[in-house]
Homo-oligomer: A and B are copies of this chain.
């Protein structure tokens, strides 16, 4: 049986009304008399009618598509695919679909924005991996396009204010550090990323803050190493810190933490709760990714469907500590 195309005209004929009335039942039900509405609904049901998004888009300029960049996985220890899964699901619930694109850097991503807008007119973009001097957000904002970032706008000047959803990295590392303090540790090291990474600096700040709470140890600054994020550098950094007297380590990522674990039997806490952490029993901070995805969609629907708010939405979620073997 070939898939028969059911159009709004077919439904109209069946329900003995005009095309427009059917359209109204679907889009502005309150314009239609109760009885008619029911009749139309039944016809829709019986014929299995589904709105043709291409035709709708032609008329309204709305595609019901959200464009998302699929991230390059280097070591696979990232968090993006779980976020994407959540996004697909919550978008679907709100009547949107996710369309993917890939790009190597900001510039080529912007070129892709242009491409996509010409060809598919996504209603909004979801950006991940925000960073200092992010030109993507300004490009979109200048053109008045709808978007939300999963990640704060790090170091944005005045006016660079846009909707975002993020996870409070500092709260996470602070919780991790307190967990170690509670276990009696007093010399807790931190292995981070190079300065200038918004996410990395944020995570570091939680460790600093938590140590500050504890009066006994204020020489914190020295028990710290920066790495490129690889397990190899993580291990080297961990050895140095242990030699310097650290009895426990908080790490900026699971990848680094994995390296640190090789340095010796000190408690280690990672960040992101990747599958690797689960597999090797690494205590880690878990980002509420489904929740983040839900919030991203909510921010966007508010932007697209309700009258746009005068202040952009900002959502900051807290990660949770998943305690395993290593701490």
Contacts and interface: CB of A to CB of B under 8 A. Distances in A.
A48 B117 CA distance: 12
A70 B91 CA distance: 13
A92 B112 CA distance: 10
B119 A76 contact: no
Contact of A119 (B53, B58, B88, B114): B53
A144 B276 contact: no
Interface string A1-22: 1110010000000000000000
A54 B57 contact: yes
A143 interface: yes
Contact of A88 (B70, B81, B118): B70
Contacts of A51: 118-119
A105 to B, nearest CB: 15
- Which of A102, A231, A255 has the most chain B CB within a 10 Å cutoff? A102
A275 B77 CA distance: 7
A102 B75 contact: no
B119 A50 contact: yes
A97 B100 contact: yes
A249 to B, nearest CB: 17
A118 B52 contact: yes
Nearest to A116: B97
Nearest to A273: B76
Interface string A62-85: 011100001111011100111011
